[in-house]
Amino acid sequence: MTHILTPVLTDNWDQDRSWTLAAYEDRGGYSAARNALTMAPDDIISAVKDSGLRGRGGAGFPTGMKWGFIPQDNPKPKYLVVNADESEPGTCKDIPLMMASPHTLVEGVIISSYAIRANHAFIYIRGEVLHVIRRVQRAVQEAYLAGHLGKNIHGSGYDLDIVVHAGAGAYICGEETALLEGLEGRRGQPRLRPPFPAVAGLYASPTVINNVESIASVPSIIGNGADWFASMGTEKSKGFGIFSLSGHVTRPGQYEAPLGITLRQLIELAGGMREGHELKFWTPGGSSTPLLTPEHLDVPLDFEGVGAAGSMLGTRALQLFDETTCVVRAVLRWTEFYKHESCGKCTPCREGTWWLVQTLARLEDGEGSEADLDMLLDQCDNILGRSFCALGDGATSPISSSIKYFRDEYLAHLEHGGCPFDPAASTVFATTGATA
Amino acid sequence: MSPLPPDRFTEDETGLTEQTWRELRQIAARYPQARSGLLPMLHLVQSAEGRITPEGIEACAEILGLSAAEVNGVATFYTMFKRKPVGDYHVGVCTNTLCAVMGGDAIFARLKEHLGVGNDETSEDGKITLEHIECNAACDYAPVMMVNWEFMDNQTPESAVQVVDELRAGKEVHSTRGPRLCTWREAERVLAGFPDDRADEGPAAGPASLVGLGIARERGWTAPEAGASKAVQPTEETK
- Nearest CB to A228 within list B31, B208, B226: B226
Which CA distances in Å does A109 have to A30, A32, A199? 11, 12, 20
User: Looking at residue B14, what is its pLDDT?
Assistant: 53
> In B, which residues are within 8 Å of A188 by CB distance?
77-78
Ligand-binding annotation for B99, yes or no, is yes
> In B, which residues are within 8 Å of A317 by CB distance?
139
> In A, which residues are within 8 Å of B204 by CB distance?
13-19, 99-101
pLDDT grade for A182, boundaries at 50, 70 and 90? very high
Q: What is the chain A residue with the closest CA to B176?
A: A131
> In A, which residues are within 8 Å of B147 by CB distance?
none
- Nearest CB to B202 within list A131, A163, A427: A131
- Nearest CB to A254 within list B42, B103, B209: B209
B177 assigned to some structural domain: yes
Q: Is B209 on the interface with A (CB under 8 A)?
A: yes
Residues B174 and B107 in one domain: yes
> Looking at CA atoms only, how far is residue A226 from chain B in angstroms?
7
Among the four given CATH numbers 3.10.50.40, 3.10.20.600, 3.40.50.970, 3.40.47.10, the one describing domain A240-322: 3.10.20.600
Residues B37 and B114 in one domain: no
> Looking at CA atoms only, how far is residue A390 from chain B in angstroms?
18
Per CATH, domain A21-230 is 3.90.950.10 = no
Which ipTM score applies to this complex?
A: 0.96
Mean pLDDT in residue range B40-61: 97
Contact B223 A3 (CB under 8 A): yes
User: Looking at residue B81, what is its pLDDT?
Assistant: 98
Convert the pLDDT of each residue in B168-219 to its tens digit. Answer: 999 999 999 999 999 999 999 999 999 999 999 999 999 999 999 999 999 9
pLDDT grade for A357, boundaries at 50, 70 and 90? very high
User: Looking at residue A163, what is its pLDDT?
Assistant: 98
Looking at the predicted structure, is the pLDDT value of residue B232 above 80? Answer: no
pLDDT grade for A1, boundaries at 50, 70 and 90? confident
B231 assigned to some structural domain: no
Indicate the burial class of B207 (C-beta count within 10 angstroms; 0-12, 13-18, 19 or more): middle
Q: Which of residues 64-83 of B touch A (CB under 8 A)?
A: 64, 73-74, 77-81
Domain with CATH 3.40.50.11540 in chain A: 21-230
Mutate which: B39, B66, B235, vs A, most A CBs within 10 A: B39
Q: What is the chain B residue with the closest CA to A125?
A: B191
User: Looking at residue B226, what is its pLDDT?
Assistant: 87
> In B, which residues are within 8 Å of A341 by CB distance?
134
B215 assigned to some structural domain: no
Contact A92 B139 (CB under 8 A): yes
Q: What is the chain B residue with the closest CA to A241?
A: B223
> Looking at CA atoms only, how far is residue B132 from chain A in angstroms?
11
Convert the pLDDT of each residue in A210-263 to its tens digit. Answer: 999 999 999 999 999 999 999 999 999 999 999 999 999 999 999 999 999 999
pLDDT grade for A375, boundaries at 50, 70 and 90? very high
Convert the pLDDT of each residue in A22-81 to its tens digit. Answer: 999 999 999 999 999 999 999 999 999 999 999 999 999 999 999 999 999 999 999 999
Range of the structural domain that residue B63 is part of: 18-75
- Nearest CB to B36 within list A3, A91, A183: A183
Residues B36 and B95 in one domain: no
Residues B69 and B149 in one domain: no
User: Looking at residue A87, what is its pLDDT?
Assistant: 97
Cα distance between residue B200 and residue B190, in whole Å? 14
Domain with CATH 3.10.20.600 in chain A: 240-322
- Measuring CA to CA, which residue among B219, B226, B209 is closest to residue A265? B219
* One-letter amino acid for residue A288 of the chain: S
Convert the pLDDT of each residue in A300-323 to its tens digit. Answer: 999 999 999 999 999 999 999 999
Residues B50 and B103 in one domain: no
Q: What is the chain B residue with the closest CA to A187?
A: B74
> In A, which residues are within 8 Å of B91 by CB distance?
none
Q: Which of residues 361-400 of A touch B (CB under 8 A)?
A: none
> In B, which residues are within 8 Å of A345 by CB distance?
none
Fold of A327-420: de novo design (two linked rop proteins) (1.20.1440)
> Looking at CA atoms only, how far is residue B75 from chain A in angstroms?
8
Residues B37 and B98 in one domain: no
> In B, which residues are within 8 Å of A246 by CB distance?
98, 139-140, 142
> In A, which residues are within 8 Å of B234 by CB distance?
35, 38-40, 43
Indicate the burial class of A3 (C-beta count within 10 angstroms; 0-12, 13-18, 19 or more): middle
Q: Please say whether the beta carbons of A24 and A9 come within 8 A.
A: no
B71 assigned to some structural domain: yes
Mean pLDDT in residue range A2-20: 97
Question: Which among B164, B183, B202 is the end of a domain?
Answer: B183
Q: Please say whether the beta carbons of A337 and A360 come within 8 A.
A: no
Angle between helices A327-341 and A347-364 (to 10 degrees): 150
Mutate which: B82, B95, B209, vs A, most A CBs within 10 A: B209
- Nearest CB to A225 within list B157, B219, B230: B230
> In B, which residues are within 8 Å of A120 by CB distance?
32
Give B161's contacts (C-beta < 8 A, 6+ positions apart). B110, B111, B114
Q: Which residues pair with A211 in a beta bridge?
A: A83
Q: Please say whether the beta carbons of A167 and A125 come within 8 A.
A: yes
- Measuring CA to CA, which residue among A173, A164, A167, A168 is closest to residue A135? A164
Q: Is B35 on the interface with A (CB under 8 A)?
A: yes
Cα distance between residue B79 and residue B176, in whole Å? 24
Looking at the predicted structure, is the pLDDT value of residue B237 above 90? Answer: no
B191 assigned to some structural domain: no
CATH of residue B50's domain is 1.10.10
In angstroms and rounded to an integer, the radius of gyration of the C-alpha atoms of chain A is 22
Mean pLDDT of chain A: 97
pLDDT grade for B15, boundaries at 50, 70 and 90? confident
Q: Which of residues 159-198 of B touch A (CB under 8 A)?
A: 175, 177-179, 187, 190-193, 195-196, 198
Angle between helices A102-116 and A212-224 (to 10 degrees): 80
In total, how many domains does chain B have?
2
Ligand-binding annotation for B60, yes or no, is no
CA angle, residues A167, A106, B228, in degrees to nearest 5 = 150
Contact B198 A19 (CB under 8 A): no
CATH of residue B173's domain is 3.40.30.10
Contact A270 B198 (CB under 8 A): no
Instruction: Please list the alpha-helical segments (H only) found in A225-262.
Output: 226-230
Instruction: Please list the alpha-helical segments (H only) found in A102-211.
Output: 102-116, 130-145, 176-183, 197-200
Angle between helices A102-116 and A41-51 (to 10 degrees): 120
User: Looking at residue B11, what is its pLDDT?
Assistant: 39
- Nearest CB to A92 within list B39, B92, B140: B140
User: Looking at residue B227, what is its pLDDT?
Assistant: 73
- Measuring CA to CA, which residue among B98, B99, B117, B120 is closest to residue B109? B117
